[in-house]
Structures are given as C-alpha cells and as structure tokens.
Amino acid sequence: MKKSELKSILKPLIKECIRETILEEGILSNVIAEVTKGLNAAPIVEQKKAAPKKEPTKPPPSVNERLAEHRKKLMGAIGSDAYGGIDLFEGTTPAPAQASPGQAASPMSGTDPNDAGIDISGIMAVGGNRWKDMI
C-alpha cells in the first residue's frame, strides 16, 4: 500500500472521529464556556504608588577613610593596651593584590604602583645627538 492510498483512507476516518469527539461529547461547548468566563472576569487593575522621596545620602567614604576606619577596628580588636598602645599599622600600605592562578601575569605585576620609574625625558633633548650614541 502506498503512502497516498493510506492517507486517503485514514484522513476521512480521523476527521470523523475528531468531529464526533468535539461535538457529541461536549468538548467544544466546554472550551467556549471557559473562554466566555475569562472574558467576563473583572479586569486586573494595577496601581502604582508614587516612590517616596529619598533624602540625599552622603557620598560613600573614600578609600583612605575606609582604610583608617578598618585600622581603628583592628586596633580595637587587638586592644588599646596591647603592644604598649603602639599602632602596629601606622605608615603601612596594603599589600598588592596577587593574580589568580588562571590569569596571565601582567608585565608590571611585580612593580609597586607608586614607583615613579626612570626619567627618560633627556633622551629626546634638543641639541643633543643622544640617539646616535644609543644606536
């Protein structure tokens, strides 16, 4: 049996079964009843309340202020009479962050960010032929 022959036989049978199911068993009337219930339902009304006015907040503390506060907390945790009342963290700077194992190291990774470096302003000095000497 060819596909087209099977299709011509089954198609009318399937149509008839669906028509009987929808009309005779009341499925269509149930669907229509549910839809009309949904149309008659009260509409949902959304109310938006006005946002309360916020008072201006103070700006976040700067890095230096946060560090000073952190040092005070550490000193409080140690105790003011510990170490003779000496501030162990006076004049210190935070350690540089270390790169995570998955990151490639930066060319400047081992250099202090506060390091001024080398002054190269004299290389291009006018009147001096320093370039010829360097080559």
Q: Which two tokens stand for residue 118?
A: 């080398």
| Burial tier of 71 (Cβ tally within 10 Å: 0-12, 13-18, 19+) | middle
Write down the mean pLDDT value for the chain.
Answer: 76
What pLDDT, on a 0 to 100 scale, did the predictor assign at position 126?
A: 59
Residue 18 has pLDDT above 80, yes or no: yes
C-alpha 115 chain-centroid distance? 33
Q: What is the pLDDT of residues 75-88, one digit of tens each?
A: 777 666 666 767 77
Q: Could you read off the pLDDT of 31-67 as tens digits, one per residue?
A: 888 888 777 766 667 777 777 777 667 667 788 888 8
Percentage of residues in the chain having pLDDT higher than 70: 69
Which is nearest to 92 in space by CA: 68, 113, 109? 68
What pLDDT shows up at residue 80?
Answer: 61
Query: For the residues 85-107, what does the mean pLDDT come to?
Result: 72
d(CA 29, CA 25): 9
125: pLDDT strictly greater than 80: no
Q: Is 119 left (phi over 0), alpha (psi -120 to 50) or beta?
A: beta
What distance in Å separates the CA atoms of residue 130 and residue 123, rounded to the nearest whole number?
Answer: 6
Please report which helix (H) or strand (E) contains residue 101, including its range: none
Give the pTM: 0.26
